Structure 1
Amino acid sequence: MSKLRSRIAQFVPRKFHPLLKRQVRRFDRLRGHSTAQARPGVILMLHVGRCGSTVLANLLAQNNRVHWDGKLPRKALQLYGDGIREIDYSKWIAEQFTISGDRFYGFEFKILPDQYPAIFGTTTVDFLKACRTMGVTHYILLTRRNTLRHVVSHYASKSRGNWHAGSGEKIQKKEFSLNINDITTGRAPGRALTNYLQEVDAAHAEVRTALTGEKFLELEYERDIDEAGAYHAYTQICTFLGVPTGDVKIRNRRMNPYPLDSVLENYDEVVQTLAGSDFAWMTCDERNAGGSEPDGPRPAG
């Protein structure tokens, strides 16, 4: 079906692609509507990026009890452009759930103020409030203990021009200088590195508080993906949802497995910037560098 749609799109002028995609999504919603009443739930994965979300999303997309719709706000932007601000985003998102039919529906939301909240013109807290009325039933928060490595991974991938890598793909080391006064992973102007790291911590804490009492699973990149392997984190999610793991394959690998001091041209400046702060330890925590990939050990059976 996807190959057929790609062939059709080749014959449609590019300016009409958003309209074509909107019609395709309407068709998919209609197709799943007849069995949507049997849908077991809706999954929302929350994160700030560069924390293993892609490898887990690709695993969930292979599970025949889950329809994974990915980064839905980004799709909305592709379909409507900035006109997305003129529609009721909560109503629009809820309409997408029928696509899954009688399977779990899953999507992602980046939580920093200048990430996906900026697309919908809302805040993460207000978005999570709206999720209750939309019908979201299960929440997953992905965090990264060393958020400095999250920043480095973002800029390394940006400078490389490649955000994801296949499991068998060789990753070329890309050296670059980090502008410690201009850090951003969203739509807002850059801010100081320490301010950004504080913002990430605050965003995670905000989500935990907002989801008190909900069906909630938190996974940490270092512990649950890098050390144990992505399949370990995936099985935790399947247990959380109450679905079998099925036959799935790891399709991604870590994008920046190199020590910070071998990647950052201004590593000493970064160390000096974070010295004396709560984040100073992040510059010398090289436990993850050169270690296992996200497709690490897979449990037998």
Structure 2
Amino acid sequence: MSELLQPFIGHQTRRYAKAVLNPLLGIFRPGNVAMFHVGRVGSTVVVGMLQQHRRIYWAGEVFQREHDRYMEAVASGGYSLPEDPLKVLRTEMREARNRIFGFETKFLDEHHLKVIGLDLERYVDTLSELGFERFVVLKRKNVLRRLISGAVLRETGQFHIRADQKRQKRRFHLDLHRIPLGARYLDLVDAIRMIEEGHEHLDRLLAGKQVCELSYEEHISDDPLVAYRKVMEFMGLEPGKPDILLRKTNPDPLSDMIENYDELREMVGKTSYRWMLESG
């Protein structure tokens, strides 16, 4: 009987030790870092490098699983918030113990905020109350490219391409009046405006705080190590030599990717966003 109980007792002992030690070790944690982005902006390649550092516990998009449940529930007709939406975040923070803890939020109302139950202002305040003093904001100036990347994802189901994986060229019809953002669909120009206004709002809320701002075009597109080193310096850590695990998914000119490119050019060309047609 004792031999049968031994694995169970060992498991229970480890669970108890973990429950006791993790909060104690958290006292010695060097800090907590929250990253904000809107998805499809190069965050995964940067995070893949951060996760290779032994002094960092990067939990990724901790609210994504619940957001997936939200998307399924909306499709079937209803959704209710979990009793404690932030429980998953606090659990991951305990796992970090004495390492720097980091995680990401897709901060638009249509993304992770839908399953947190807080508006952006209250969410930023809540993170500060939880001990987050440093914030990383990852932007993509060419919002049109970001939206098309999201549309390609819906078409193909392929989130990323490994660094050693061959990329296949894609050409598809873009519905300019049905651009996906979370569970909503918007006109293309309205979707661009929503993302830009979302970043302006976030910038105002983070004013005066410790912020590391990354640009996809300046810090990731040509060499993701530039962004990685910038974040490591922000955290006060030596960067080391991480592997770059992913490559660009949609680098081709938009005219090569979009079957109805003339229609796209006609719509965007009338706006202040027309430069996004040619920029990478």
TM-score between both structures, scaled by the size of structure 2: 0.86
Structure 2 match to 1:56:
46
Q: Is it true that 1:65 corresponds to 2:59 in the alignment?
A: no
Indicate conservation of the 8 Å contact 2:62/2:88, yes or no: no
Query: Hey, what's the Cα distance between the residues in 1 that align with 2:36 and 2:114?
Result: 15
Paired letter, 1:99: E
Seen in structure 2, the aligned counterparts of structure 1 residues 272 and 49 have a Cα distance that, compared at 3 Å, is same
| CA drift at 1:279 | 0.7
Cα-to-partner distance string for 1:79-132 (whole Å, 9 max, x where unaligned): 999787232334552343111011011111001111111122222222112111
Q: Corresponding residue for 1:162?
A: 158
What is the Cα deviation at residue 179 of structure 1? Answer: 0.9
Give the secondary structure class of the aligned counterpart of 2:164.
Answer: coil
Contact conserved, 2:67 with 2:112, CA < 8 A, in 1? no
Match of 2:268 among 261, 267, 274: 274
Indicate the RMSD between aligned Cα atoms, in angstroms: 2.4
8 Å contact from structure 2 (residues 56, 100) kept in 1: yes
Q: 1:206 to 1:27 in 2, by over 3 A?
A: farther
Q: Check whether the contact 1:261–1:267 (CA below 8 A) recurs between aligned residues.
A: yes
Whole-Å separation in 2 of the counterparts to 1:155 and 1:265: 13
**Compared with structure 1, are the counterparts of its residues 29 and 148 closer, same or farther at alpha carbon in structure 2 (3 Å cutoff)?**
farther
What percentage of residue pairs aligned between the two structures are identical? 27
What does residue 88 of structure 1 align with?
A: 84
3-state DSSP of counterpart to 2:180 = coil
User: For the residues of structure 1 that align with 2:34 and 2:208, how far apart are their CA atoms?
Assistant: 15
Distance 1:94 1:135, change over 3 A: farther
Unaligned ranges ≥5, structure 1: 1-23, 289-301
Question: In the alignment, which of 196, 199, 203 is matched to residue 204 of structure 1?
Answer: 199
Q: For structure 2, list consecutive stretches of 5 or more residues without a partner in the other structure.
A: 1-13, 74-78
Secondary structure, aligned partner of 1:86: coil
Matches within 5 A, 1:90-109: 90=86, 92-109=88-105
2 CA distance for matches of 1:25 and 1:183? 46
- 1:232 pairs with 226, 233, 236, which one? 226
Q: Deviations over 1:161-216 (max 9, x none)?
A: 210111111110111111111112312x2111111000000011111100111110
Counterparts of residues 1-20 of structure 1 (less than 5 Å): none
Kept in 1, the 8 Å contact 2:34–2:105? The answer is yes
**For residue 23 of structure 2, what is the amino acid of its counterpart?**
H
CA contact (8 A) 2:63 2:88 kept: no
For the residue of structure 1 that corresponds to 2:104, the secondary structure is strand
Q: Counterparts of 2:96 and 2:158 in 1: how far apart (Å)? A: 30
2:145 to 149, 172, 177: 149
Cα distance per residue 1:133-176 (max 9 Å; x no partner)? 11112111110111111011111232122101111111101111
Q: Are the equivalent residues in 2 in contact too, given 1:44–1:140 (CA < 8 A)?
A: yes
> 2:209 & 2:157 partners in 1: Cα distance?
38
| Aligned mates of 2:110, 2:20 — CA distance in 1 | 33
Q: Shift of residue 225 of structure 1?
A: 0.8
* TM-score of the pair, normalised by structure 1: 0.80
- Compute the displacement of 1:25 (Å): 10
Distance 2:15 2:120 in 1: 25
Question: Which of these residues, 11, 14, 25, is aligned with residue 35 of structure 1?
Answer: 25
- Counterpart CA distance in 1 for 2:115 and 2:16 is 21
User: Taking CA–CA contacts closer than 8 Å with sequence separation of 6 or more, which of the two structures ends up with the larger relative contact order?
Assistant: 2
Residues 163 and 29 (structure 1), Cα distance of their counterparts in 2 relative to 1, 3 Å cut: farther
SS at match of 2:178: coil
Judged with a 3 Å threshold, the aligned counterparts in structure 2 of structure 1 residues 84 and 103 are, in CA distance, closer, same or farther, namely: farther
Q: Distance in 2 between matches of 1:140 and 1:265?
A: 36
Q: Which amino acid aligns with 1:196?
A: A
2:5 matched residue in structure 1: none
Determine the structure 1 residue equivalent to 2:216: 221
Are the counterparts in 1 of residues 174 and 258 from structure 2 also a CA contact under 8 Å? yes
